[in-house]
Amino acid sequence: MLVDTNVWVALLLPSHPFHQASREVLAEQRTLMLCNSVQISLMRLLTTPSVQRQYGTGTLSNNAVAQSLAALRAHPDVQFVTEPTELYASWIQFAAHPTPAPKCWMDAYLAALAFHLGVPIITLDEGFRGYATYGVQVMMV
């Protein structure tokens, strides 16, 4: 199962309102997939002062977050996945929008990646339900 950034954040931060729900849902999964784009987003968010304040993590340096991510990647249930070569066309198709939609780019990318990997994506973002029309399997926490 491909895990969206927001679910990783919830899973890693005990004070997040979806922490327990994320733990329960993900405990039932054998493989949690992490891709480079989510990894970058996760690192960016965990080192953002407003996120650190909101969830009471204290100051997390880039080094500290990189160490945490290395431990996460080493976990036996976490699989790092790379993008298939045919992903680009689906990503652009999934991101097609008649008006500017800057937040759509990452969602469309993750939806296309899940589609090509043939796995569901798990997220807290209700907007992903729209990708079901393309055959993307969406699970909500």
Q: What is the pLDDT along the chain (141 residues), one digit of tens a residue?
A: 999 999 999 999 999 999 999 999 999 888 999 999 999 999 999 999 999 999 999 999 999 999 999 999 999 999 999 999 999 999 999 999 999 999 999 999 999 999 999 999 999 999 999 999 999 999 999
pLDDT digits (tens, 9 = 90+) for 9-20: 999 999 999 999
Burial class (CB in 10 A: 0-12, 13-18, 19+), 139: middle
81 touches 2 (CB < 8 A): yes
Residues 38, 4: contact at Cβ < 8 Å? yes
Q: How far apart are CA 64 and CA 2, in angstroms?
A: 24
Q: Do residues 107 and 122 touch, judged by C-beta distance below 8 A?
A: no
37 φ, ψ (degrees, to nearest 5):
-65, -40
Tell me how many degrees the CA angle 127-44-134 measures, rounded to the nearest 5. Answer: 25
Domains with residue ranges and CATH for the chain: 2-140 (3.40.50.1010)
pTM for the predicted model, two decimal places: 0.94
